[in-house]
Structure 1
Amino acid sequence: MAPTPANPTPASPSPIQVHPSRVRVLHPGGGRETAGPVVYWMLRDQRLADNWALLHAACLAAAAVPSAPVAVAFSLFPRPFLLGARRRQLGFLLRGLRRLAADARAGGLPFFFLEGGPAEVPALVRRLGASALVADFSPLRPVRESLDAVVGELRRDAPAVAVHQVDAHNVVPVWAASGKLEYSAKTLRGKVNKVIDEYLVEFPEMPTTAQWNMEQPEDVDWEALIDRVFSEAENVPEINWCEPGEAAAMEVLLGSKDGFLTKRIKSYESDRNDPTKPRALSCLSPYLHFGHISAQRCALEAKRHRHLSPKSVDAFLEELIIRRELADNFCHYQPHYDSLAGAWEWARKTLMEHAADRREQIYT
C-alpha cells in the first residue's frame, strides 16, 4: 500500500481560480494521448453546489483538449467504518444521497453509487478510462488508508491516471492553515486570520464540460438499500425535524420562515449554550457534518448578515471556522486522535491525579 506523501505537490492554478494550495497532487499521472473523463470521488462533501472538489474536477475536464466529461462516484464505507452510526445517521446520509443523485441526473451529471466501498473506485476509474480522479479530504484514519490504497492501486495498474485531493470541507485548507498540531484555538486563530481573506471568497460558476455519453450508472433502489443498511444498524429512530439535502440546508441557513441568519441569529451569542433555548442554535451541524452545505457558504452569508447582530455573527464565525477547523487540525496531525494517547500531557496528568477521587455516581 503506497502511503500518501506527507507534502504532496501543490496543484497548478486552475482557470476557475480554485486556490492552488487547496489542491494536492497525490499522483501526477499523464502520458495519455486523449483525455478521458474526470471522476470526482465524493465522500465528505455530499453536495453539488459550493464544492471546491467538484469545481476542480470540472476544471480539469474543461481544460482537456478536447473537453472531457465529469462523473461523480460515492462509495459507501463498509460497516466497520460506520460502527457507531445508527439508523438516525445512516438514514440522513442515504436519504441525502438519494436527493443528490436525482439533482445530479437532472443536471446531466452521472452519479455512480458504489455500495461495495472504496475498493470499487479503482475498477470504476479503469472501466471509464478516466484521466483523473479527484478525492475529498478527510483527516480520519480509515479514509486516509482507503485513499492510500486507491492511489497505490492506480499507480500500479493505471499509472496514467492523475489523483488529486481537494479540501472542500474547511474554509482554510487544513494543510494551509498550519503545518503542525496546534495547541489551542488561540494559536490556530492567529494563523487562520492571516490568510482568511485568501480563501473566504465567493465560489465561481461551474465551467462547461463535455456531455456524458459513456457508461450510465445503475439505478439504485434507495428504499431497498436503506432497509438493508438499517437491518445491520442499531435502532436509534430517525428524526422528523431535520430533512437531509442541499435545499433543506439552505432553508435552515437562510429561510424566510425560520432561517438561522434571517430569523434566529440575534440570540446566538448569548443563548447558544443554554439547553433550554434550542432556537438559539444554528441547527446546521448535521448539514455541515455530511457536507450538504459548505462551511464557506455559511461564513459568506453570515458576513453579509452581520448588520443584524455583529456579536452573534462573530461568535458564529468563531465556532464555524476556528473551533471547527481546530478539530480537523487535531485529527490530521495527531495520529492518536482517537485515544487518550493523543491528549496533551497536562490532560493525561490531570486525569491520573484525579483517578482516585470520590464520585457521587460511577458510570460504566
Structure 2
Amino acid sequence: MKPLKQIYYVLLSVLGVLFLPYIGAWIKYEGNFSKDYFNFPALSAPDKAGFSVLAFSMAAAFFLAVVVLYAFPRVYGFKKVKFTPTQPSAKIPLPIWFWVGLVVWGLTLFMTCGKFQEPKWLLNWAYIPLFWGFTLMLDGWVYIRANRNSLLSKSPHEVIGIGAAATVGWLLFEYLNFFVDDNWFYPKADIVPEDEFGVYAIIGASGLMPAVFEIYNLMNTFPAFRHRYDQGPKIATSRRTRNIILIVALTGLFSISFFPEVMFGVLWISPLIVFTVVLENLGIWTPLTPIKDGNWSPFLKYSLCYVIYGFLLECWNYFNAIHDPLDPANITAYTPAHWVYSIPYITKFHVFEMPLVGYLGYLPFGAYCAVWWILCAFLLNIPTQFAHDEYSEVRAEPLEIYTN
C-alpha cells in the first residue's frame, strides 16, 4: 500500500475516535447539550451508580488473573526463558541530568506533599517539574545500567517528540471523559483562571508519556525480566477477525454516551484497539505484533510500565492534598491539577484516590502510549527506536537465550 494511502487510513482512525462519541452524544441529546457538558476542567461529576458486589468481583477476578500472569507466566503456558549472564560493565557515574531531575523532582514533591501554600508560581504548575524531573532521573538510571545508552544521551529529539505526542494523546482522553460523565475531575482547578488551567493541561500532559518509555528501557536492562514473556502462547488473528474487533471498538465509542456508567471502561480500551488494528492492517509494527510468534514481552511490559508510573502518580497526587477523615469528599489542595475519581460500581477499597481495581485501566493505557507514539512517528515521518522491539530493547549486557 502506498504511504499516502496508509496516512489516510491512520488519520481516518483518529477522526473515528474523535467524532464517533460526539455523534452518539449528539443523537442522544438531539443536539441540545447542557451548557456545562464540555466544560474543562470539570470541578465536579454527576452522581454515579453505587457499589456493585458483582461488578467488583468480576473486576477483582480479572485483576487477580493479571497479577498471576505477571508473577507466574508459566501458569498461562509461557516457557521458562534462561540467560547466560556476563561480567558487569565498569561503573559509570550518574549523568548531570539525573541530579538536575532529582533536585527538580525532589523540591517539587517536598513543596506539594508538604502542603505549602506558597510560592504560587510553583504550586500552580507543580506537576510539570514533578513529571519531567522524574523522567530525567529515570533516564539517568538507564544511562548507567545500559552502558551510556539512554534516550536523552542518544535520541534527545525523540524525547521531545514523545512529549509533544503525549500532549495530544492525553488530551484525547480528557475529551473522551466528557462522554462518560467525568470519570475523573479537578475539584480545585478554580484556584487558577480557566484559560491558565487549559495552558497548564496542555504543557503538563507532555510529561505523562516519556516516563513510560524510560521505565520500559529500564526494565530491559534487567536480563531476568527482559525476556520473561518471550515464549508464550502464539495467537494470530486474521484480517477479518481484526476488522470485526475494530468495528466493535468503534461501536463502543459511539455508544458510551448512551450508557456512560455501564461502558465507562470502553474509554480506556477502545482507542488502543482502534489504533492497533489499523496499524496492524497497514503492516506497521505495534507491541501486539510479536504475539503471533509467542512473544508477549513488548505488550506486557508496556502495559506494566503505566501501572508502575500510574501508582506513583496517584501517590504524589494523593499526598499533595489534605483529606478530611470524616468526610472524604472534603479536600484541601493547593495545586489546581489535583484529581479525584467518580467511577460507578467499583468505588471501594481505594489506594490513594483510585479504587483498587481501577488500576486495571492503566494496563491498556500503557500499551496505548506505545501505539500512540508509533502512530504519531509514522504520520510525521520521525525515526523512532520503538517502532520494533529489536530496537527498543536497551541491553545491560549480552544474553544467550534458550528455553526448557
TM-score normalised by structure 1 residue count: 0.21
Ranked by relative contact order (alpha carbons within 8 Å, sequence separation 6 or more), the top structure is: 2
More helix, by proportion: 2
TM-score normalised by structure 2 residue count: 0.19
